[in-house]
Amino acid sequence: MDDAPSPWLRLALCPQTPNALIRELLCTSECTPTQLSLSLNSWLSPDTEQPPPPLEGAGAVQATTGAWRALSSQLHTSDVDAAIEKTLNWQAGAANRFIITPDHPAWPSQLSYLQEPPAALYVIGEPALLRADQVAMVGARRSSMDAQVTASNMATELARLGWVITSGLALGIDTEAHRGCLAGGAPTLSVMATDPTQCYPKANRALAGEILAKGGCLITETPLGMPLERYRFPRRNRLIAGLSRGVVVVEAAVKSGTITTAQHAAAQGREVMAVPGSVRNPRVSGCHQLIRDGAVLVTSAADVVECLGECGNDRVSQIRRESPDMTPSRVIDELNVVAANRSSSKQVATLLDAMGYDAAPLERLVQHTGMAATELVTLLTQLELQGRVTRDLAGRYSRC
């Protein structure tokens, strides 16, 4: 950022700034974000009597001179000036702290089209992840062991395919989604309801540190010094949905914060996916309702990829970001490993589909998958070691 703070930061830290103004400026203006910021700098001057011409493309700025003058006076109070200084001092306190506004290169443009878009995000870690292809994974805090294993395994497989897993750092499914992503070798993104100096729940402080240590990031729209209040959690959930191409719900009751994330995703035109469970488990009732209402039923990473399509993240840039001193030959080696993981994941999905749920002899699997027998045996052995496939005395294979 330049020495002068972004005008969006002033808008974000002024309690009187209407949400409708932020949305209109981001969605309706015909200016680029940089042009818009230059115009806003002029408009936000205390001496300005009317908005400059470049803002005419935004319907919300067609206000009277008196309305502009009133809002400008609110934007230039000592409280707002103090909040800006405090925020800039926070950013300057560490090299991995960033204030991301719509005129910043790392701004995730998909957030500009939310019903209530943020004017600023406070980021700790790698801000480039904001623009990466993301899958949100959310679920119950008091989740079953089966659901936690499902979330962890699915996040790990998606991470190996290059996806960034986004969640809310809560206990239960959120925690397993973050950990699973890290286990898969990819960075993970956590959207917090607190201000950037806090961690909630405190039990996940170590996890937050691990997320940062492994190239991930923590983000929030809550300004410094603001208390943690209940209404910030559903607002946090709209950002989780807005950043992602789709939301996977793993175990959720009908009335829960998790369901609000899915509702935000549906309203924003994102894909909504849900993992089914036992009809006797009340903690899965929300997932079943989502499926009944049109959510895609998913039980594996392969199902998620089928729903969302291939991941478009630039793996070369990610490798160089994580290891800036890596030689080109090592980068190629890393890409080969990623390609092998991606190929293996697709092969596993093909194999399991061909296997069905009845014991299948090797000959049938060769016929239905098109793989060589030696290749299949290697893959089946790996799946046996992972506890996903079992072999009977007759040499037939079946899912566990």
Residue 192 phi/psi, 5-degree rounding, is -105, 155
pTM (predicted TM-score): 0.73
- Tell me the Ramachandran region of residue 270: left when phi exceeds 0, alpha when psi lies from -120 to 50, beta otherwise: beta
- 154 and 133 together in one domain: yes
- The number of folded domains in the chain is 3
The total of other beta-carbon atoms located within 10 Å of residue 257's CB is 18
**Is residue 91 in some structural domain?**
no
Kindly state whether residues 142 and 260 are assigned to the same domain: yes
Do 292 and 319 reside in the same domain of the chain? no
Q: What is the tens place of the pLDDT at every residue in 15-67?
A: 888 887 787 777 655 566 666 777 677 666 666 555 544 444 444 455 545 55
List Cα–Cα distances, 227 to 74, 90, 120, 141, 316, in angstroms.
Answer: 22, 17, 18, 22, 40
Q: Do 247 and 356 have their domain in common?
A: no
Both 224 and 321 in a single domain?
no
Give residue 342's domain range.
315-399
Q: What is the CATH number of the domain that holds 200?
A: 3.40.50.450
Do 164 and 73 share a structural domain? no
Q: Which of 308, 326, 345 is the last residue of a domain?
A: 308
On whether residue 2 sits in a domain, the answer given is no
Residues 264 and 162 in one domain: yes
Residue whose C-alpha is closest to residue 216's, from 326, 128, 338: 128
The per-residue pLDDT string of the chain (400 residues; one tens digit each, 9 = 90 and over) reads 445 678 889 889 998 888 877 877 776 555 666 667 776 776 666 665 555 444 444 444 555 455 566 677 788 889 999 999 999 999 999 999 999 998 888 999 888 888 889 999 999 999 999 999 999 999 999 998 889 999 999 999 999 888 999 999 999 999 999 999 999 999 999 999 999 999 999 999 999 999 999 999 999 999 999 998 888 999 999 999 999 999 999 998 888 889 999 999 988 888 999 999 888 888 899 999 999 989 999 998 888 988 887 665 544 445 555 665 554 445 445 545 554 554 466 677 788 877 877 788 888 888 888 887 767 777 787 777 667 788 877 778 888 7
Domain match, 148 and 259 both: yes
Kindly state whether residues 300 and 176 are assigned to the same domain: yes
Contact in structure between 392 and 355 (CB atoms under 8 Å): no
What residues pair up with 167 in beta bridges, in sequence order? Answer: 190
Same domain, 371 and 297: no
State whether 368 and 229 are in the same domain: no
Backbone angles phi, psi at 273, to 5 degrees: -125, 145
